[in-house]
Amino acid sequence: MQVRSLPAGVALSLLAAVPAVGLPGSAAGDRFVTLTRSSSWTLERSVPIAFPAHHPQGLVKIGERLFFSSVEVTTPPRRGAGTDGFDRDTGRGVGHLFEARMDGSLVADVVLGEGAMYHPGGLDFDGRDIWVPVAEYRPNSRSIVYRVDATTRKAVEMFRFPDHLGGVVIDTEDRSLHAVSWGSRWFYRLALDPSGRPINADAPPPSLRVANRSHYVDYQDCKYVGQHRMLCSGIADVARGGGERPLPLGGIDLIDLTTGAPLHQLPVGLRTPAGNSLTRNPSFFEAIDGGGLRAYVLPDDDQATLYVYRIE
């Protein structure tokens, strides 16, 4: 793990206190189930990110700070070039956990990963630590899961896992970790000991997972929202046949962590000026006064923009 320093006068101290707030809480999940396809989405503001965002993956808002994971690909994986049963080689890259102010300026860049494991995924915040998986950029591969102190930015490796974990969620009520695989086709559950380390990570992966019953989008970023539920955003390109281009879809789902079943689903048709779905990768939702949710999304790559929507 590496924390990249910024010039004096540009960044706040990396040891500056970050308030232990930012958990979506059960209110976000409860508000979500009141939304429908006819709910209104109002753009409140758009904030250009003032540094190269690369390919953002997961997002959490903690007080007036944003933390988002991102993969910087320096050599893209090559399909058909994999060995040992893989469909592609690993490529090369750098995994980042960025901290930014709400005006889009950079505070800190925590570099995560090891060797071929450079692809951070969707992340979650348990009130003190940010949990981030970093995997090889190919399916059915391997991952490292880190816990990063939101105040000191110190990263601790918690465990390694023999599959690509594309996002993690912490159930703060029963202290379990839940993860989605590549394309979110599987849901994993790992019980945590008092130190936060899984007690069953060495079990065969098939014994730890259940199938995702929903197929209209692949979840990219999920958050725990109380009552053993997670709120996930995702995207998919659905084949239409006849030589037509795939149909791009976006959506948000509330998932029961005890069964893996969707409790409420909301398609999202809004897109950015660059043509990306609003639910393309990073998202964070919070309950707001007067009802409804506020959504923070970061759908575009490189010269990215944070879009803040009020959903009612």
pLDDT value of position 22:
60
Reading the block at residue 38, the tokens are 């006819």
CATH code for the structural domain at 2-292+304-311: 2.120.10
Nearest of 166, 180, 232 to residue 209 by alpha carbon: 180
pLDDT value of position 247:
87
pLDDT value of position 8:
31
> Which residue stretches of the chain have pLDDT < 50?
1, 5-20
Pairing of strands 155-161, 293-297: unpaired
Nearest of 132, 141, 157 to residue 56 by alpha carbon: 132
Strands in 165-171's sheet, in edge-to-edge order, are: 165-171, 176-181, 186-191, 209-211
Pairing of strands 41-48, 293-297: unpaired
pLDDT value of position 232:
98
Reading the block at residue 47, the tokens are 């904030």
Nearest of 190, 182, 159, 183 to residue 257 by alpha carbon: 190
pLDDT value of position 15:
30
**Paired strand residues for 42:** 310
Q: How far is residue 56's CA from residue 71's CA, in Å, rounded to a whole number?
A: 7
The pTM score is: 0.91
Other beta carbons within 10 Å of 198: 20
Domain ranges of the chain: 2-292+304-311
Q: What is the DSSP string of the chain?
A: -EEE---TTTS--TT----S----HHHHHHHHTT--TT--EEEEEEEE-SS---EEEEEEEETTEEEEEEEEEEE---BT---TT-SB---EEEEEEEEEETTS-EEEEEEE-BTTEEEE-B-EE-SSEEEEEEEESSTT--EEEEEEETTT--EEEEEEESS-EEEEEEETTTTEEEEEEGGG-EEEEEEB-TTS-BSSTTS-GGGGEEE----SSEEEEEEE-STTEEEEEEEEEE---TTPPPEEEEEEEEEETTT--EEEEEE---B-TTS-BTTSS-EEEEE-TTSSEEEEE--SSSS-EEEEEEE-
Burial (CB < 10 A; 0-12, 13-18, 19+), residue 74, is exposed
pLDDT value of position 293:
96
pLDDT value of position 281:
93
pLDDT value of position 25:
72
